[in-house]
Structure 1
Amino acid sequence: MQTVTQAAVHTTHTVPLVEASQPGRLVSLDVFRGITVMAMILVNNPGDWGHIYAPLEHAHWHGCTPTDLIFPFFLFIVGVSLVYALDGARQQPATHGRTMLRILRRASVLYGLGLFSALFPAFDFSTVRIPGVLARIAVVFLVCGVVFLKTNWRQQAGLLAFILVLYNVLLQVVPVPGYGPANLEATTNLGAWLDRTVLGENHLWKQSRTWDPEGILGTLPAVGTGLLGMLTARWLRQRTVEPATKVAWLFVAGGAAVLLGLIWNGWFPINKSLWTSSYVLYAGGLAAAALAALYWLCDVQGLRGWIKAPLVYGVNAITVFFLSSLIPRVLNMIKVGGADGQPQGLRDWLYHTFFVPYFSPINASLAGAIVCVLIWLGVLWVMYKKQIIIKV
């Protein structure tokens, strides 16, 4: 990663309103990214994994909780961001080669950060998890970046439809070698078989070792989520359409995607771990509606008095996500004496000293997660004030 200081960080809230049909950074996009990452930190850092409120947990298998919307929202944002970042380069075919090298470099850095996080602190390559959240973000960023440079919006929409139909066919028609007919079970679906065959059980999600929620095949429809974000951004950048019309039609399109996802759910269930086609449409439709609302509030109406907290998260999103996965492990490497005299990690000691005695188990767990979000908010606020953005 590289640390940069930009006047843009300071002027985000003082420049004239950024209309989405004009070149420039969408304030609503940074706010949406920040809200999404704040939610990601909240659900990834409970005080106690054994005590979590239901909305802050993933669905057991089929179905969708609020927590299941966080990752697709982020990938949708990746797609939107690519359009704003690469639209100028797209219009200059002579520079496409250099641009694709930059895309590849950034994707490689993202994947490298994910691999480092999976290895830390043991650095045991024989059991390291190869897929992961940052790995999936890297692949979606790479594929969508190249697709955006080389295709028009109609081709992108066609590719999205092709991916969703193809994935449905692969999971529900193609037999699974060694297991028989196609199925959607966790350990015997085609994606799980492919992960075990290509990567090996030692390199999959450690909670299962027989399947991975960010596996190889499921990354295909995840690219579809990025494409939905790209198509949304292309619409928002239309110079000849009034903002109110943009918002209205984006709500219509988002609602239609949600409805189609719910209909498709009847035979290809909404499932985050499988990243089913119905899930792509359902979560993508909600993401489009959320961005439309934020765009209207922040960029069109200029109602920005409430946005500071998500904004400071949004401009350093990858930084806080990466560090928030490492710091708890670093803290637990520091051993202190517990109440029973046995040494325990500093993070666990802090939780059992300052939260457990004063709350019910489930509220102590939630309070620990909220405090984690607030601590990172303080760190990011200082970075924001000093105009520090760590770019990947």
Structure 2
Amino acid sequence: MNGPMPDASPASTAPDATPPASRRLISLDALRGFDMFWIIGGEGIAHAAAELTGWSVLVWLAGQMHHPEWHGFAFYDLIFPLFLFMAGVAMPFSFEKRLADGGTKQELVRHSIIRGLVLVLFGMIYNGLLEFNWPETRLASVLGRIGLAYMFAALIALHFGVRARAVWIAGILIGYWAALRFIPVPGFGAGDLSPGHTLTDWVDRQLVPGRLYQGDRDPEGLFGTIPAIATALAGNLTGTLLKSSRFSGYAKAVLMIAVGLVCLAAAWVWNFDFPINKNLWSSSFVLHCAGWSLIFLAIFYLVIDVWQFRKWAFFFIVIGSNSILIYMAQAFVDFEYTTEFFFGGALKHAGAYQALLGAIAFVFVEWLLLYLLYKKRIFLKV
């Protein structure tokens, strides 16, 4: 992905409270890696550790490693929108770099469109497009939503100022809520937010070809991509703040936390009328995830980019620097076989620790691949 490249240099002995606006956001790669860690095997480690120890904190964490069936929120729901939010954060830095290298606004527009469409294609390939089983192929995907939301958010960001982008976010969220509340759905009427009965589900059934994930609905469908644009735009505004030289690093972190708390409060209030729901990517869900994304980014930014305590984050930086590659690799590389090949013999003698050590070994194999690519400076960029 485009955006700040990682820097694993040792922590400075004199942290700079006001990082230069042009400095690469190492915290962004670290947070992206933290986010991806749960997808590539962190979830399995959490479950195995909870089952082995029975510790209440691990049992709670394992309980967060699932998506609610419909309304509600768990930590696992944050992974997808946090990634999209960070794509928006990287946007101003990427645009500035391309313009500094001699690019034009028209070239940025073209690049954003191409990047979005390539991610849509990657998502379809991930879901089995190359098997050529058209009626049964699921064309909606996580990468597809990221691509489309990023593309439209980028086009908005390139043509509108900060205040106008904020208005766009408000307009998208309110408009999406109004559409689901007041536009009648054939057979179900207006305002029915039951699974399969919503306007979002109906539009997807009409417009999305191939198989929908849940038969009559798809959590990564087309209509739900509209509020996802607001998620990317929220990240874009955050990136604009971080790129600014008007505020110190501390002030930026405090401001992100404050706005994050406001978003969480607004989501809690809106939840009473428009429930927090990842399947619908509801407006309250956008605010809720934006709130947590801001808080997580503020913490990572403060520790890594302001205080410059970086060595601890190297594990996550390696993952975050090649996030799309490791996501796609899971569809084509048999990491379970590789883990069994290298560690299967030892794991057979691990007794009660077999599941936990096996989950750790699985992540280690993936991380080792990423580390080798990192050392060779090989990164999959779109």
TM-score, scaled relative to structure 2: 0.85
State the Cα distance separating 1:248 from its structure 2 match.
1.1
The question of whether the paired residues in 2 share the 8 Å contact of 1:43 and 1:67 is answered with: no
3-state DSSP of counterpart to 1:56: coil
Residues 1-392 of structure 1: matches in 2 within 5 Å? 11-13=7-9, 21-42=20-41, 53-87=62-96, 95-119=104-128, 122-200=131-209, 202-205=210-213, 208-328=214-334, 368-392=358-382
2:211 counterpart letter in structure 1: H
Distance in 2 separating the partners of 1:92 and 1:378 = 33
Question: For the structure 1 residues 171 and 350, does the alpha-carbon distance in structure 2 shift closer, same or farther, using more than 3 Å as the test?
Answer: farther
Question: For the structure 1 residues 368 and 228, does the alpha-carbon distance in structure 2 shift closer, same or farther, using more than 3 Å as the test?
Answer: farther
State the Cα distance separating 1:120 from its structure 2 match.
5.8
In the TM superposition, what whole-angstrom CA distance separates every residue of 1:64-109 from its partner, at most 9, and x where no partner exists?
1110110011011010011110135579998111111111222222
The question of whether the paired residues in 2 share the 8 Å contact of 1:37 and 1:313 is answered with: yes
The question of whether the paired residues in 2 share the 8 Å contact of 1:45 and 1:369 is answered with: yes
Question: For the structure 1 residues 386 and 283, does the alpha-carbon distance in structure 2 shift closer, same or farther, using more than 3 Å as the test?
Answer: same
Distance in 2 separating the partners of 1:57 and 1:354 = 30
Distance in 2 separating the partners of 1:204 and 1:355 = 39
3-state DSSP of counterpart to 1:204: coil
State the Cα distance separating 1:123 from its structure 2 match.
2.8
Distance in 2 separating the partners of 1:178 and 1:359 = 56
The question of whether the paired residues in 2 share the 8 Å contact of 1:316 and 1:380 is answered with: yes
Question: For the structure 1 residues 357 and 390, does the alpha-carbon distance in structure 2 shift closer, same or farther, using more than 3 Å as the test?
Answer: same
In the TM superposition, what whole-angstrom CA distance separates every residue of 1:268-293 from its partner, at most 9, and x where no partner exists?
11111111111111111111011111
1:271 counterpart letter in structure 2: N
Distance in 2 separating the partners of 1:250 and 1:365 = 39
Question: For the structure 1 residues 70 and 364, does the alpha-carbon distance in structure 2 shift closer, same or farther, using more than 3 Å as the test?
Answer: farther
Segment drifting more, 319-328 vs 350-359: 350-359
Question: For the structure 1 residues 242 and 326, does the alpha-carbon distance in structure 2 shift closer, same or farther, using more than 3 Å as the test?
Answer: same
Question: For the structure 1 residues 14 and 105, does the alpha-carbon distance in structure 2 shift closer, same or farther, using more than 3 Å as the test?
Answer: farther
The question of whether the paired residues in 2 share the 8 Å contact of 1:163 and 1:224 is answered with: yes
Distance in 1 separating the partners of 2:11 and 2:109 = 31
Segment drifting more, 90-99 vs 275-284: 90-99
Gaps of 5+ in 2: 52-58
3-state DSSP of counterpart to 2:96: helix
1:66 counterpart letter in structure 2: F
State the Cα distance separating 1:370 from its structure 2 match.
3.8
The question of whether the paired residues in 2 share the 8 Å contact of 1:221 and 1:280 is answered with: yes
In the TM superposition, what whole-angstrom CA distance separates every residue of 1:150-194 from its partner, at most 9, and x where no partner exists?
111100000000011111111122111232232111111111111
State the Cα distance separating 1:249 from its structure 2 match.
1.4
3-state DSSP of counterpart to 1:134: helix
Gaps of 5+ in 1: 333-345
The question of whether the paired residues in 2 share the 8 Å contact of 1:47 and 1:364 is answered with: no
State the Cα distance separating 1:365 from its structure 2 match.
6.4
Distance in 2 separating the partners of 1:93 and 1:153 = 24
State the Cα distance separating 1:314 from its structure 2 match.
0.9
State the Cα distance separating 1:46 from its structure 2 match.
8.5
1:150 counterpart letter in structure 2: H
- 1:342 match: none
Distance in 1 separating the partners of 2:66 and 2:257 = 27
The question of whether the paired residues in 2 share the 8 Å contact of 1:47 and 1:368 is answered with: no
Distance in 2 separating the partners of 1:185 and 1:365 = 38
State the Cα distance separating 1:213 from its structure 2 match.
0.4
Q: Considering only aligned residues, what root-mean-square deviation do their CA atoms show, in Å? A: 3.4
Question: For the structure 1 residues 47 and 162, does the alpha-carbon distance in structure 2 shift closer, same or farther, using more than 3 Å as the test?
Answer: closer
2:307 counterpart letter in structure 1: Q
Question: For the structure 1 residues 91 and 331, does the alpha-carbon distance in structure 2 shift closer, same or farther, using more than 3 Å as the test?
Answer: closer
State the Cα distance separating 1:239 from its structure 2 match.
0.7
2:144 counterpart letter in structure 1: A
In the TM superposition, what whole-angstrom CA distance separates every residue of 1:204-258 from its partner, at most 9, and x where no partner exists?
11xx211100011111111111111111111122212121111111111111101
Distance in 2 separating the partners of 1:64 and 1:175 = 27
The question of whether the paired residues in 2 share the 8 Å contact of 1:111 and 1:135 is answered with: yes
3-state DSSP of counterpart to 1:181: coil
Question: For the structure 1 residues 170 and 242, does the alpha-carbon distance in structure 2 shift closer, same or farther, using more than 3 Å as the test?
Answer: same
1:26 counterpart letter in structure 2: L
2:63 counterpart letter in structure 1: A
State the Cα distance separating 1:54 from its structure 2 match.
2.3
- 1:335 match: none
Question: For the structure 1 residues 241 and 181, does the alpha-carbon distance in structure 2 shift closer, same or farther, using more than 3 Å as the test?
Answer: closer
2:30 counterpart letter in structure 1: V
Question: For the structure 1 residues 125 and 257, does the alpha-carbon distance in structure 2 shift closer, same or farther, using more than 3 Å as the test?
Answer: same
3-state DSSP of counterpart to 2:380: strand
In the TM superposition, what whole-angstrom CA distance separates every residue of 1:330-369 from its partner, at most 9, and x where no partner exists?
978xxxxxxxxxxxxx999999998799677xx8766654
Distance in 2 separating the partners of 1:189 and 1:12 = 47
Question: For the structure 1 residues 318 and 12, does the alpha-carbon distance in structure 2 shift closer, same or farther, using more than 3 Å as the test?
Answer: same
Distance in 1 separating the partners of 2:205 and 2:366 = 36
